[in-house]
């Protein structure tokens, strides 16, 4: 694994703008909020031969609870090479105020060379050989299924639903998407990926603190590398990035919840039938009633990026599925709003209709047996997570506000959406509309047509 901090350089058009480091930016804006003299007056008070003195005068207030100062450090970009899908999932789960991306299974064909060494993810030596064998067999089936689906799409282009008149490059890309989208359920959750995230130093420090407290060694290594890079850009904030009692205890409880569910229920090998849950909270204080109608809240709406009014924004929505695969969870977990929750305990295994392999049952039997041994023999470091496959189904809940829920529905059922999460989002939208029927004219539920 390797972490690289990316420093932002002003473009040529900003040649006459004041240039500040992230911490000098934060201290300058902190002073700005306590003055009515204007930004030029604040900047004129900086000793540019010793700008750290100006920074230190403000940053000492961080130790007195003024954490918002750390949020003024601007977007700090980090590139993380070769972390596991699992760690990327945890990173996005923790860093809910970040913007980021990771390597896509829709465009990149994965291979066994992207597997970490067993010891690096905490697999005991006694099980390392079996873990390696199971993961490599999963990759072999993934690649065989991909070739099979790609060949079927070449023989029958109607499978891909290409837009009329699409050129050859578009047809090739959509065929690749079609095959990779359906083969990816055999990819190991331990597979290495690349992640890019942009956050303020305040959020980076909070994220590193939680990573540092996780019981699995990969997260601790990532925390150390992120801290070393953050030290280059905001050295005063790294003191707030070390694990504390609360983060350690919450990390321990999360791990134990996953282990307890697997011990109690095992991990099914069949597809778990779809269930959805939607709870809508519309109560308002008697002294702050809604003043806007539902149609008025959507006045002028053109697409999912259009502004919605308070009648929608004040509505709280909690929605959940019993059987999101880890493949889809990687995408849905990146919606930043609200809170996302999953115990990461497999309840079944999903494959799309028409997708199968003669060795899949044997693979799943071996993989489930390996999972149970890891849960029994090495429960303390979370290494059982690294035995999952992307087709493993887990329960997942997202709580947010109605305008963000509608955005997610429209995005994940719209043009080019993955077929499976389009099914999931269409299902929760139907339940939402059953409870809030007046919203139906204003939600643009798509059909996930190819781009």
Q: Per-residue pLDDT for 251 more than 70?
A: yes
Mean pLDDT of 90-103: 87
Q: Per-residue pLDDT for 64 more than 50?
A: no
C-beta of residue 324 within 8 angstroms of C-beta of residue 77? no
C-beta of residue 327 within 8 angstroms of C-beta of residue 390? yes
C-beta of residue 278 within 8 angstroms of C-beta of residue 431? yes
Give the pLDDT confidence of 425-449 residue by residue, as tens digits. 999 999 999 999 999 999 999 888 7
Round to whole Å and give the CA distance between 95 and 92. 5
Q: Per-residue pLDDT for 66 more than 60?
A: no
Please give the residue that has the higher pLDDT: either 244 or 162.
244
Mean pLDDT of 373-393: 95
Give the pLDDT confidence of 4-59 residue by residue, as tens digits. 998 888 888 877 877 777 877 777 777 766 666 777 877 777 777 777 776 776 55
Mean pLDDT of 179-183: 92
Confidence at residue 71, expressed as pLDDT on a 0 to 100 scale:
66
Q: Per-residue pLDDT for 65 more than 90?
A: no
Q: Domains of the chain (ranges plus CATH)?
A: 2-80+192-243 (3.30.1360), 262-350+391-442 (3.30.1360.170)
Give the pLDDT confidence of 35-48 residue by residue, as tens digits. 667 778 777 777 77
């Amino acid at each position: 694994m390797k972490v690289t901090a990316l420093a932002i350089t002003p473009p040529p058009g900003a040649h006459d703008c004041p240039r500040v480091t992230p911490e000098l930016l934060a201290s300058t804006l902190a002073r700005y909020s306590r003055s009515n003299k204007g930004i030029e007056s604040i900047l004129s008070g900086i000793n540019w031969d010793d700008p750290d003195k100006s920074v230190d005068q403000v940053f000492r207030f961080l130790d007195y609870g003024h954490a918002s100062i750390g949020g003024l450090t601007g977007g700090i970009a980090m590139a993380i090479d070769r972390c596991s899908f699992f760690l990327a999932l945890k990173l996005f789960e923790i860093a809910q105020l970040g913007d980021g991306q990771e390597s896509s299974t829709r465009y990149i064909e994965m291979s066994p060379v992207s597997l970490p060494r067993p010891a690096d993810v905490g697999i005991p030596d006694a099980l390392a050989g079996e873990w390696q064998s199971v993961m490599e067999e999963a990759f072999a089936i993934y690649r065989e299924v991909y070739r099979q689906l790609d060949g079927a799409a070449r023989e029958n282009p109607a499978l891909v639903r290409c837009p009329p008149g699409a050129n050859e490059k578009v047809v090739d890309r959509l065929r690749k998407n079609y095959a990779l989208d359906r083969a990816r359920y055999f990819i190991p959750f331990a597979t290495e990926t690349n992640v890019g995230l942009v956050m303020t130093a305040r959020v980076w420090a909070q994220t590193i603190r939680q990573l540092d407290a996780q019981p699995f060694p990969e997260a601790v290594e990532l925390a150390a590398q992120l801290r070393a890079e953050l030290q280059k850009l905001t050295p005063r904030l790294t003191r707030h990035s070390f694990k504390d009692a609360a983060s350690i205890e919450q990390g321990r409880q999360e791990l134990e919840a996953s282990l307890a569910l697997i011990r109690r229920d095992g991990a099914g090998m069949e597809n778990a039938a779809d269930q959805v849950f939607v709870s809508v909270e519309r109560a308002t204080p008697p002294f702050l009633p809604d003043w806007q109608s539902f149609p008025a809240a959507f006045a002028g709406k053109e697409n999912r990026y259009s502004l919605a009014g308070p009648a929608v924004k004040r509505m709280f929505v909690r929605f959940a599925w019993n059987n999101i695969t880890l493949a889809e969870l990687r995408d849905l977990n990146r919606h930043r709003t609200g809170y996302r929750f999953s115990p990461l305990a497999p309840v079944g295994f999903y494959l799309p209709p028409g997708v199968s392999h003669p060795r899949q049952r044997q693979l799943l039997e071996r993989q489930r047996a390996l999972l149970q041994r890891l849960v029994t023999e090495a429960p303390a470091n979370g290494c059982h997570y690294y035995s999952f496959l992307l087709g493993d189904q887990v329960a997942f809940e997202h709580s947010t506000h109605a305008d963000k829920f509608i955005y997610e529905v429209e995005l994940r059922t719209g043009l080019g959406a993955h077929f499976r999460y389009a099914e999931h989002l269409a299902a929760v939208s139907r339940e939402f509309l059953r409870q809030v029927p007046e919203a139906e004219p204003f939600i643009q539920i798509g059909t996930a047509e190819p781009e």
